[in-house]
Structure 1
Amino acid sequence: MNHSPAPPDDPAPADWSAHRGITLMRTLATALTVLDGAAGDGSIAVPYAPEVQRALDRTVLACLERGAEPPASLPDLLSWCRERPVSDWPVDLPPEAAGPDDVLLDPESSRPTELCYEWAEQFSDSALVLYDREIIRAALRLCREYGEEEAYSEFRRLLVTRPVLTPAEEFAVSMDHVLDPVKELVSRVYRPVPDSYLREGAYATCGRCLTLLTPLPDGGWWCERDRCRRLGRPPVGRRLPRDEVGGLIQLARPLRQFVTGPGRAEVALETRLTALGLKVRMWPAYDAYDVHVTFPDGRVWAVDVKDWAHPAFLGRAARPVPKEPPYDEAFWVVPQDRVDDRPGYVAAFERNRPAAACHLPLLTDTELVDRAAARLTRDVRAAEGFEENRDA
């Protein structure tokens, strides 16, 4: 399950609360997400929102306490967030709080990075940052009240596979009776798309993550997903001329960040496991965990997919996979490219997980699929050996 897990109840091995910079970073990350949500046109309203002013004041104070030159203004602070790796800030942070190249704002677009959103989600109580959790909880409650588990699974799949809707697609969704328990919720989580996404009268979606691309002055496109940008310039998926399709709607940013993005990894894993011939059930028992896998011999795996940029945050959020629906083995899984991008990813996860989750294995999606394929091969060989012995 990927939607904004709360921090674990058990203390993590590393006591981050002893570092004063933790409070500053979570305040700053919250402020940056507030700015991103409020200033769709790139402007900054004055007076600043309370979270924003608080972040500026605390950053200045932290710098003065350490004898460092503070940012002179909010624009100066935003420049720090774009250009200065978090590990180089004059603040007290634990060693694994950020990697050597991690910044809070994307240098190209000035939008919050995944690290920034993960800081905000892990520690903040801001209503803006908790929005995605509230939506998922509301969907769970409504579907349980109706007794419609399929409605919840369909709702999750909608958010993962269709973050952007044309008017015709919006109408088709409104006519899907499976979604009846959450129809009003669906109407609230999709928002009109601003003109800033248009180039020459047309929108474009990312061919990898399906979200809308933002046009750049040099003629290229920018994808809001850090993971996509690491793979190079985003491929254009759908081109949607506004005079042909009409105005678009898209999911609110927190849902795109914490449901659509991680959900792409979930459905990709579903596809790979299904291709092996396994029976796969997504988000079983109202999202107890992400993937329920049944082997031909009846053995069951439970999998929670975690598409997180920051392994220490992932470790701190670690907890045992829920017992229901029953399973024989359980895993947390992270996309292979997350581990490839950050050396020591799994080790950092293991160092930061609480005692209650000390036996929870973290695999890459590639490792999980390889294990599943190997298990199927052993099962086939065992069955063949049984048949040979019986014939003999």
Structure 2
Amino acid sequence: MSDQQLVPDWLSNPDVVLLRDVATSIVHLAGVDGLDSFTLPYPASAQRALNALVLQCLRNGARPPAGVPEMVRWARARPLGSWPLDQLPTDLFGAGDRLIDKESGEPAQLCHELAVEGHGSSTGRQYDRLVIQEALQACRAMSSPESYTAFRRLLVTRPVLTEEDWREVSTDLSLDPVRFLIEEIYAPVPLGHRRDGTYLCCHRCLTLLTPLYDKDWWCERDQCRYRGPAPHGRKLAASEVGDVRQLRKPLRQFVTGPGQAETTLEAELRSMGLAVEMWPGFDAYDLRITFPDGWVWAVDVKDWAHPGLLGRSATTVRGEPPYDEACWVVPRFRVRMRRDYLDIFARERGDRASGLRLLTDDQLRRAARLRLRGERGPNASIAPTDSPRTTSPKNGARHA
């Protein structure tokens, strides 16, 4: 029996199931009316989550929330470790983890990751995967991998579109196979994003900032908030730019965010003199990196708040186009926020991942530099140190 089989499945823990139900209800409430303005009748998921939370509080001798509004206030004010849930694993959440961002009142990324629908799939993940799958099918049908690459770059580099931007995108012939998707995935921006008639974009991640009550602005991306106040980018006066559209939330969270980490790595690796192909083989993986001697790395970039949930999602990197070594990469700020991030990922990674290694983007860049300098030891590798190495690509060997 493997060590992993000896570890209890925390996803089946009653308190974890309860928190996931609460997270699901918060996402549903935010999607219906916004957390500051939801009204009766509440979505059924919210009432079910409240009933379960009240029952658990009574069992533990704690005062329960009086209703759905108070449950939402709990999610914003109380770190998850302080909830009266005595069966919750102590190392599962960080000290400051909340379901709702304290400053903005928006569901946190962790909340979206915990939220489930149907057979345990995140509601947001269902939507973004459906969109990507539709794009893949449309571009394959037209034998146009360049259209798929253009579509992915659009989602990464242009999460916000003015009327002029919309006209430009609408006449881009490379996007013709996915035109029907673009019309659906960009939605009108709510007036709540506007202050004094103006929208403001984040200079770092390009998404729209949310105005706060104290005249400050809030960025929805964890990485931006970790790095400090969001730098102000494009100012979009409604009277000048007309209607403003933005990508729907699941795409901004699960495609735009990680995609910006991907394109940043692309630029940095190219500056080292490496050949980098983005989303090769109709998105078999994110980056295909070729060294001057023909050695190939395959990299998938992830940006999840919870390392355990990321570990549970781990699978081997697809074998085509072929490569010599493969890994997953996470932005370094995740590990700085939570020092046990890589260890928890490795602990929760399933057997189907075959020892898949998770590196920070810093570690990947360092390994690339070392390999370029001629080192061939483990520090210049992205494969698991205990896995067999392939032979030289000149001999045609590749991992599947």
State which of 351, 355, 368 in structure 1 corresponds to 2:364: 368
Q: Does 1:81 align with 2:64?
A: no
- For 1:238, give the aligned amino acid: R
- Does structure 2 retain, via aligned residues, the 8 Å contact 1:305–1:334? yes
Give a deviation string over 1:352-391, Cα, whole Å, max 9, x none.
11123252111111111111111111189xxxxxxxxxxx
Partner of 1:230: 226
State which of 60, 68, 93 in structure 2 corresponds to 1:66: 60
- Does structure 2 retain, via aligned residues, the 8 Å contact 1:13–1:353? no
Instruction: Report SS of the residue matched to 2:236.
Output: strand
- Does structure 1 retain, via aligned residues, the 8 Å contact 2:210–2:218? yes
Structure 1 residue 40, shift from structure 2 partner:
4.2
Structure 1 residue 199, shift from structure 2 partner:
1.3
- Does structure 1 retain, via aligned residues, the 8 Å contact 2:79–2:97? yes
- For 2:297, give the aligned amino acid: W
Query: Looking at both structures, which has the greater relative contact order when contacts are Cα pairs under 8 Å and sequence separation is at least 6?
Result: 1
- For 2:112, give the aligned amino acid: Y
- Does structure 1 retain, via aligned residues, the 8 Å contact 2:156–2:256? yes
- Does structure 1 retain, via aligned residues, the 8 Å contact 2:209–2:218? yes
Q: Does 1:274 align with 2:270?
A: yes
Structure 1 residue 261, shift from structure 2 partner:
1.1
CA RMSD of the aligned region, Å?
2.0
Q: Does 1:108 align with 2:109?
A: no
Structure 1 residue 233, shift from structure 2 partner:
1.1
Q: Specify whether residues 33 and 41 from structure 1 end up closer, same or farther in structure 2 by C-alpha distance, changes over 3 A only.
A: closer
Q: How does the TM-score come out when normalised to structure 1? A: 0.90
Q: How does the TM-score come out when normalised to structure 2? A: 0.88
Counterparts of 1:295-310 in structure 2, within 5 Å, are 295-310=291-306
Partner of 1:390: none
- Does structure 2 retain, via aligned residues, the 8 Å contact 1:167–1:248? yes
Partner of 1:323: 319
Q: Does 1:256 align with 2:241?
A: no
Instruction: Report SS of the residue matched to 2:289.
Output: strand
Structure 1 residue 61, shift from structure 2 partner:
1.8
Q: Does 1:337 align with 2:333?
A: yes
- Does structure 2 retain, via aligned residues, the 8 Å contact 1:318–1:357? yes
State which of 13, 17, 38 in structure 2 corresponds to 1:19: 13
Instruction: Report SS of the residue matched to 2:200.
Output: strand
Q: Does 1:355 align with 2:335?
A: no
- For 2:196, give the aligned amino acid: E
Q: Does 1:94 align with 2:89?
A: yes
Structure 1 residue 257, shift from structure 2 partner:
1.0
Partner of 1:7: none
State which of 114, 135, 138 in structure 2 corresponds to 1:139: 135
Distance in 2 between the 1:119 and 1:17 partners?
A: 10
Partner of 1:118: 113
| 5+ long unaligned stretches in structure 1 | 1-9, 381-392
Partner of 1:37: 31
Instruction: Report SS of the residue matched to 2:298.
Output: strand
Structure 1 residue 210, shift from structure 2 partner:
0.7
Structure 1 residue 66, shift from structure 2 partner:
2.2
Structure 1 residue 11, shift from structure 2 partner:
7.2
- For 2:84, give the aligned amino acid: P
- For 1:23, give the aligned amino acid: V
Partner of 1:292: 288
Distance in 1 between the 2:307 and 2:292 partners?
A: 34
Give a deviation string over 1:226-267, Cα, whole Å, max 9, x none.
221121111111011111111200011111111111111111
| 5+ long unaligned stretches in structure 2 | 377-400
Partner of 1:5: none
- Does structure 2 retain, via aligned residues, the 8 Å contact 1:24–1:59? yes
Percent sequence identity over aligned pairs? 50
